[in-house]
Amino acid sequence: MKKYLFTLGVILFFNSCSTNDDLVLSEEAKLNRRESLQLIDDLTDGGGSSKTKFKTPPYNSLNTMFFYNNDSSADIFKLNSDGTIGNRLYRAASFSDDWTIIERYEVNGKPFILFYSKRRGDAAIYNIDSNTGKILGLVQNYTGWRGGRFVWNEYWERIQSYKIGGTSYMFFYSDEGAVEIYKINSNGILGERVYLASWSDDFTSVKVYDVNNKHYVLVYNTKKSSLDIYNIDSNTGKVVGLVKKYSTKGGIFKFNEAWDIIETYKIGTITYMLLYSDDGNVEVYKVNSDGTLGQRVYLATWSNDISSLKIYEINNNPFILVYRRGESKGDIYNIDPNTGKVIGLVKGYTGWRKKIID
């Protein structure tokens, strides 16, 4: 069974240009990129993919971005209306140096943030000030998730929050195949466990998403090039029947690719799915009302050394943050709100080194 190192990448920014041609490389340039990859550390996040990926947090009503830095400090920045990084709202000089998953979430309009250490099996939940985005007091410590009420003797690879109606849930997946789902109480801590199961232990991406208020969970296996989609029961939050299985190689979905990053995002009422491979291949699909993949709206070859992607929205305008850890560089691009396609470069930055960005 493949094991993954869970340190998350940074978003770094570099000099801008007028188009997104920097993402599209010649064959010679792509070969040079591949050679340079030998010197670049491979990163993963809670999703268990072989590249870091950034998720769009369910809580981002203040339009903020959270940075957990290499020196264990943390910063929260305001995002400008054009999608660029604005003023710093908050700085904490020191956190634990081994947080591996950070998840922001919301319960009844109140924002919280969860920190999890895979090494220690510990977690901490904090309040977030709904007016400023600053981290406030500790709500709950979970020390040594190796037993007790939660019986967490697993190392969690993926932690994701989601909401169904007015109820918030937290989803956990481990590299031993253990899956647990909990309701989140009104004070932000974990409440009733609503789902406990043993899945395959070789999923490299696990992601919960919604289409027209119906929730689904996607599981992807890089080695098998298989992608399965399941329903989540709207009344209980439990994972229920299989919706669709994609296991054929080739064809429009091209699942002969080893997808390293899989992200979903919404523009208005339309849900999209982005798939990126370490060969630089990128595809974006509309997601059908039943949670399955529909029309492909974008097909491109980007650089093959992207370690992280973060998709987010400001004032109903979607953006994508592309990070190259090996070069300490990143870009912010527009996503066309009418088509879901990635279009012009907004701004570039350079020289940032972070562990996690949310």
pLDDT in tens, 6-43: 223 322 222 223 333 333 333 333 323 322 222 222 22
Does some domain include residue 189?
Answer: yes
Does some domain include residue 12?
Answer: no
pLDDT of residue 61: 54
**Assigned token pair, 255:** 């699942």
Return the DSSP state at 121: T
**Assigned token pair, 125:** 């939940």
pLDDT of residue 195: 92
Does some domain include residue 3?
Answer: no
Burial class for 289, CB neighbours closer than 10 Å (0-12, 13-18, 19+)? exposed
What is the total count of domains within the chain?
A: 1
Does some domain include residue 183?
Answer: yes
Domain region containing 325: 21-357
Does some domain include residue 338?
Answer: yes
Burial class for 68, CB neighbours closer than 10 Å (0-12, 13-18, 19+)? buried
Return the DSSP state at 55: P
CATH number at residue 238: 2.130.10.10
pLDDT digits (tens, 9 = 90+) for 222-239: 777 788 899 999 999 999
Burial class for 325, CB neighbours closer than 10 Å (0-12, 13-18, 19+)? buried
Residue with tokens 């909401």: 163
Does some domain include residue 15?
Answer: no
pLDDT of residue 255: 52
Cα dist from 271 to 53, 209, 289, 290, whole Å: 18, 9, 9, 11
pLDDT of residue 66: 82
Average pLDDT for consecutive 10-residue bins of the chain (358 residues)? 30 28 34 26 28 36 74 83 89 78 89 87 88 85 59 73 91 87 94 90 86 91 82 92 76 60 89 88 92 92 85 90 82 92 90 64
Number of neighbouring beta carbons within 10 Å of residue 258: 17
Does some domain include residue 11?
Answer: no
Answer left, alpha or beta for residue 221, where phi above 0 means left and psi between -120 and 50 means alpha. Answer: beta
pLDDT of residue 152: 54
Does some domain include residue 211?
Answer: yes
